[in-house]
């Protein structure tokens, strides 16, 4: 019964605290100052030099202990610490997804992330994939959108996402930098791409996302 009450309270507050900032796939935090009370020393993606040590940055993320105020900030200061921490796993994970997919679209020079829709649990058919008129249309069919980043999700509204993305960009800018660096490394140097390239890059996204998820989980549960 208490779980139901908490869940209903969270949803009510999140819906009431509507955030109207739009999500942009190319947003990058320009602050190089670590937040107060956190031992963050992450690299701003705008000044990536020399090459980022991915494993080292992930280890740093896993060791961070967010303050109560920072958990509240991650939710857009819509809820207090108790509820913000309960929400943080879903919000931070989906923010990582949005950042990663935004960077993946950017490396292909595709349009920004699409607005949320009802989640389609049906895999695209071979015919649909074969007949996709453009590479972007093919990518749209294959894009690994999470059910939680859709109107079918049970945890978040779309208008909750800008606060989460802004929080990740300002407190953990190395996350966006990791996606950007690896996509740049793996993207064909010739600039010539096809459907196999799209599939390959989606797989690289999934690999990186899994590693970042593990670091975030450790950060939240080990503190």
For 10-60, write each residue's pLDDT tens digit: 444 444 444 333 333 333 333 333 333 343 434 444 444 579 999 999 999
The answer for residues whose C-beta is within 8 angstroms of residue 93's C-beta and 6 or more apart is: 148, 213, 216
pLDDT at 191: 87
Q: What is the CA radius of gyration of the chain?
A: 18
Phi-psi region of 166 (alpha: psi -120 to 50; beta: other; left: phi over 0): alpha
Question: Would you say 101 and 205 are in contact if contact means Cβ atoms under 8 Å apart?
Answer: yes
* Range 90-111 average pLDDT: 98
Residue appearing with tokens 């997919």: 101
Q: Is the pLDDT of residue 130 over 80?
A: yes
- Global pTM reads 0.79
For 70-85, write each residue's pLDDT tens digit: 999 999 999 999 999 9
Q: How far apart are CA 64 and CA 60, in angstroms?
A: 7
- Copy the structure tokens of residue 111: 């349009």
For 132-164, write each residue's pLDDT tens digit: 999 999 999 999 999 999 999 999 999 999 999
Choose among 64, 23, 25: nearest CA to 42. 64
For 181-206, write each residue's pLDDT tens digit: 999 999 999 989 999 999 999 999 99
- Copy the structure tokens of residue 110: 């595709």
pLDDT at 49: 55
Alpha-carbon distances of 215 from 54, 84, 138, 219, rounded to whole Å? 11, 19, 31, 6
Q: Is the pLDDT of residue 212 over 50?
A: yes
Question: Would you say 45 and 54 are in contact if contact means Cβ atoms under 8 Å apart?
Answer: no
């Amino acid at each position: 019964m208490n779980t139901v009450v908490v869940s209903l309270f969270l949803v009510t507050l999140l819906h009431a605290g509507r955030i109207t900032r739009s999500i942009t796939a190319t947003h990058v935090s320009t602050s190089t100052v670590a937040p107060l009370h956190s031992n963050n020393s992450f690299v701003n993606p705008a000044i990536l030099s020399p090459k980022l040590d991915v494993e080292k940055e992930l280890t740093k993320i896993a060791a961070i202990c967010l303050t109560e105020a920072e958990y509240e900030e991650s939710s857009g200061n819509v809820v207090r610490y108790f509820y913000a921490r309960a929400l943080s796993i879903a919000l931070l994970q989906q923010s990582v997804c949005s950042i990663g997919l935004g960077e993946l679209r950017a490396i292909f020079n595709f349009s920004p992330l699409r607005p949320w829709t009802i989640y389609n649990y049906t895999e695209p058919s071979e015919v649909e994939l074969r007949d996709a008129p453009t590479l972007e249309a093919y990518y749209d069919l294959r894009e690994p959108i999470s059910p939680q980043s859709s109107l079918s999700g049970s945890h978040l509204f779309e208008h909750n996402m800008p606060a989460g993305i802004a929080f990740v960009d300002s407190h953990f800018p190395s996350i966006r930098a990791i996606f950007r660096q690896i996509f740049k490394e793996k993207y064909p140097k010739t600039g010539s791409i096809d459907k196999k390239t799209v599939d390959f890059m989606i797989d690289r996204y999934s690999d990186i996302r899994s590693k970042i998820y593990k670091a975030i989980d450790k950060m939240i549960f080990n503190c």
